[in-house]
Amino acid sequence: MILRIFNNFLCKWLLLFVLGCLQFQGFASVNEKSLWKNYNNSKHSVTAELNALKELSKYYSTIKGDLEAFDTITQKTMLLATQTNNEDIIIEVYDYYYSLNDYIVSQKAAYQHAQEIARLAQITGSENLLWYSQHFLSLARFGGFNFKEALLLAKKGLETAKNAGNAYFKCRSLVQIGSCYDKLDDKKEALEHFLQALDLAEKLDNDELKMLVYDAMSYMFLFNKNYLKSQEYRLRHIELLKRQPIIDTATILSDEYRLLEIQVNLGINDEVEQKIESLLKFTKQNGYEKGYVDLWSLYRSVLIDNNKFKKLQEVYLVQYPEEYKNVKENNHKLFHRLKAYFLENDKNIDSANYYWKLVIADIDKEKHLYKSTHIQLRYAEFLLRNKLYAESLKITLKANAGAIELKYLPNRIKATQILVEIYAMQGDYEKAFQYKNENAWLTLKLNEETEQEGLMILELQHQIEQRQLERLKEEQQQIADLRASKIKSNAFAGGLILFLVLSALIFRQYKQTRTEKERSDALLLNILPEQTARELKKTGVTTAHQFENVTILFGDIVGFTKIAEKLNAQNLVKEIDTYFRAFDDIMETYGLEKIKTVGDAYVAVGGMPHNNKATASDVVSAAIAMQEKVEALSKDRLRLNMPAFELRVGLHTGNVIAGVVGSKKFQYDIWGDAVNIAARMEQNSFPGKINISEDTFKRVHENFTCISRGQIEAKNKGMINMYFVEHQKNIEA
């Protein structure tokens, strides 16, 4: 909740800042005609002409989005720069071109331009040109998706930078090497090089280099699905950008768009929608055509992903009818998709299906596998929403086959989710179970590939090492200062004192380091299961595991919200802590593993992690002990006129996947269908009761008296057999 409030505040503050700045900075007041007029008036000076051409190329790339015009103007700029025979001017122009690598139209041309710099380096023998040629060649290969060759060229650039003793070049090479490793899915190597580059950028106190690193790290964490870390580095990038003497509006808009993409993945969609709506107005009013188009694409995705088809229709038909007209006239593929969503919102399913078939026909012509699977899955979701199961099954199987060929796990995961729902609705539970297992395996594989835990550990280790280095430098400086002062006095006495002080400082550093290590080890063991903590400490990564026949306990304090309104924050936390501490003791008594607390909810399991022998009966016994403890606490509190709670408990036994998740704080968590069912058991329980599923009942009915509740509908799970646990049976030996 605190993080969400912070994000809300941050988004709104940042939006106000950006909208305030944009009215006065960068290109906000510049138009195409004025830029061309400036260019036509610059022919008297090569420097002025080059500057005017650079402004035009930036306008067409970052504002207009006309990449062909950008490429044409850039080639003219490069030719003019080369004719000057001035190394500094040539480097400045070429470096500017490759800094806009995302907007380069022809990667072949980019490689040819880099080879031209390599030729000049060979002729002149310039070390600077040699490094730039290697760096530009790497960027060109990177843009052409040849990441292995880009990596080799970047490493050559690093060696050149080291030989020249040029820290600036070294830092840029480290970033490029990190980016190559990132694309080659070696995340740990990528982060190690990024952190080295960041250390160097901070040592040089160079904002340009810091922003280069922050941008690369934000991208890496974004594609690694560590969205909080991605947001953290994107915000650092924006903060530095704001401190520059001239704030570039186009770059700010680009950063804002990237931040919005991250926040969509963080699930703060309402704030994102509001921000997009404000930026749409600004980009339209000030002619930022590329930003306007990008924002529309993101806006559509947010609304469609959240099934907000009514709002999508209102935005296009009421707020921006001219945009809808533009789409209808110039983009028939997008028009067909929008028409399908609008008709679905109007409950005209047959006509919506007709337009979806036009969309599929369009995408089949392109023969673009990623686009095909993406659109097919959108269509399959439409069919599933409207109970057209046979058609949905056919298109989903096709999309799944495409995703397998593409080797793209997110689309395979989405496809298997849809297949589970289709087969379940058709009553083919065997197939549904088959795809449920496949979905769990794919999810596990995707989480293994992201290696979030290892990246967090690596970054944490880097931060600790940096603090230790800083402390060591301070102590070395103290020693040096002391030595200088003592040399001036008695040499023997000074040496003795220096030795004693040095010994004391070394002992203090050793003691502090050891204390920090013991504290971090204890904290890690308190947060994570012992085996997981050992694995993190030993290898820097953890592997997610699947556990079978785990019994999950969900407990929820009833009436907490109403009582919370009557207590201040300090007393509220004290009250909830009283209950949760009691629950912790019960978990320890019955050998259960506490997973987490979320607000007034308490989650624990029996039968995992490794070596945990707690059975389903142990979990039921723990649940009974929890209810008895809550009842006893309630009686005591009512006598003292203090707030008292009741507890609602739900249990389910099944298979789960467990591992470390999160970005800023370690969190050992569990997920899977069994977890969702356990939550539904709790939601359908009553105060003071323990509600269990049939899977748990089968394992505990010999030891406990249970009362059948029959089949009860659980949200998104259909009808499920449920039982109330009454008490433990008296079993005589």
**Same domain? 559 vs 574:** yes
| Element (DSSP H or E) covering residue 430 | helix 429-450
| Confidence bin at 391 (pLDDT 50/70/90) | very high
Is 239 inside a domain boundary? Answer: no
Quote the crossing angle between the two packed helices 87-99 and 46-58, to the nearest 10°.
10
**Same domain? 396 vs 497:** no
Structure tokens that stand for 107 in this block? 């990667």
Domain boundary (507, 530, 553) is at 530
**Same domain? 582 vs 707:** yes
Per-residue pLDDT reduced to its tens digit, 528-580: 555 555 555 554 445 567 888 899 999 988 877 666 666 666 677 777 888 88
Measured from the Cβ of residue 24, the count of other Cβ atoms closer than 10 Å reads 10
Write a three-state SS string for 129-196. Answer: HHHHHHHHHHHHHHHCCCHHHHHHHHHHHHHHHHHHCCHHHHHHHHHHHHHHHHHCCCHHHHHHHHHH
Q: Give the residue numbers spanning the domain of 594.
A: 544-728
**Same domain? 441 vs 373:** yes
Is 660 inside a domain boundary? Answer: yes
Quote the crossing angle between the two packed helices 67-83 and 107-124, to the nearest 10°.
10
Convert 164-178 to b/e letters by CB count within 10 Å (16 or more is b).
Answer: eebbbbbbbbbbbbb
Mean per-residue pLDDT of the chain = 79
Asked if residues 593 and 606 have their Cβ atoms less than 8 Å apart, the reply is yes
The identity of residue 216, as a single letter, is A
| Element (DSSP H or E) covering residue 261 | helix 249-265
**Same domain? 494 vs 582:** no
Convert 555-589 to b/e letters by CB count within 10 Å (16 or more is b).
Answer: bbbbebeebbeeeeeeebeebbeebeeebeebbee
Per-residue pLDDT reduced to its tens digit, 164-211: 899 999 999 999 999 999 888 787 888 889 989 998 998 899 999 999
Please state whether the predicted TM-score (pTM) of the whole model is above 0.75. Answer: no
Measured from the Cβ of residue 499, the count of other Cβ atoms closer than 10 Å reads 10
What is the number of domains present in the chain? 4
Domain boundary (105, 121, 144) is at 105
**Same domain? 603 vs 660:** yes
Segment 420-427 mean pLDDT: 88
**Same domain? 374 vs 425:** yes
**Rounded Cα gap, residues 431 and 421, in angstroms:** 10
| Confidence bin at 717 (pLDDT 50/70/90) | confident
**Rounded Cα gap, residues 647 and 600, in angstroms:** 10
**Same domain? 661 vs 585:** yes
Asked if residues 164 and 202 have their Cβ atoms less than 8 Å apart, the reply is no
Segment 401-405 mean pLDDT: 88
**Same domain? 608 vs 703:** yes
Instruction: List strand residue ranges (DSSP E) for 97-191, in order.
Output: none
| Confidence bin at 425 (pLDDT 50/70/90) | confident
Domain containing 678 — which CATH number? Answer: 3.30.70.1230
**Same domain? 445 vs 467:** no
Domain boundary (450, 479, 511) is at 450
DSSP state of 324: H
Structure tokens that stand for 210 in this block? 């810091």
**Same domain? 718 vs 632:** yes
pLDDT at 275 over 60: yes
Is 177 inside a domain boundary? Answer: no
Residue 348: predicted pLDDT: 93
Asked if residues 400 and 380 have their Cβ atoms less than 8 Å apart, the reply is no
Residue 464: predicted pLDDT: 43
Backbone angles phi, psi at 554, to 5 degrees: -115, 125
Q: Please, what sign has the CA dihedral across residues 210, 211, 214, 216?
A: negative
Is 142 inside a domain boundary? Answer: no
**Rounded Cα gap, residues 606 and 299, in angstroms:** 44
Is 476 inside a domain boundary? Answer: yes
Between these two residues, 247 and 402, which has the higher pLDDT value? 402
The identity of residue 285, as a single letter, is Q
Is 301 inside a domain boundary? Answer: no
Per-residue pLDDT reduced to its tens digit, 88-136: 888 888 887 777 766 565 677 778 888 888 888 888 888 888 998 888 8
Domain containing 416 — which CATH number? Answer: 1.25.40.10
User: What percent of the chain is helix, strand and coil (3-state, nearest 5)?
Assistant: 75, 10, 15
Length of the chain (residues): 733
Residue 70: predicted pLDDT: 81
Asked if residues 249 and 23 have their Cβ atoms less than 8 Å apart, the reply is no
At a CB cut-off of 8 Å and minimum separation 6, what does 302 contact?
A: 264, 269, 272, 273, 276, 308
Is 597 inside a domain boundary? Answer: yes
**Same domain? 720 vs 598:** yes
| Confidence bin at 158 (pLDDT 50/70/90) | very high
Q: How far is CA 126 from CA 50, 116, 154, 174, in A?
A: 23, 14, 18, 21
Backbone angles phi, psi at 692, to 5 degrees: -125, 155
Which residue, among 663, 198, 178, has the nearest Cα to 460 in the 3D structure?
A: 663
Q: How far is CA 22 from the centre of its chain?
A: 27
Residue 561: predicted pLDDT: 65
Is 675 inside a domain boundary? Answer: yes
Asked if residues 668 and 528 have their Cβ atoms less than 8 Å apart, the reply is yes
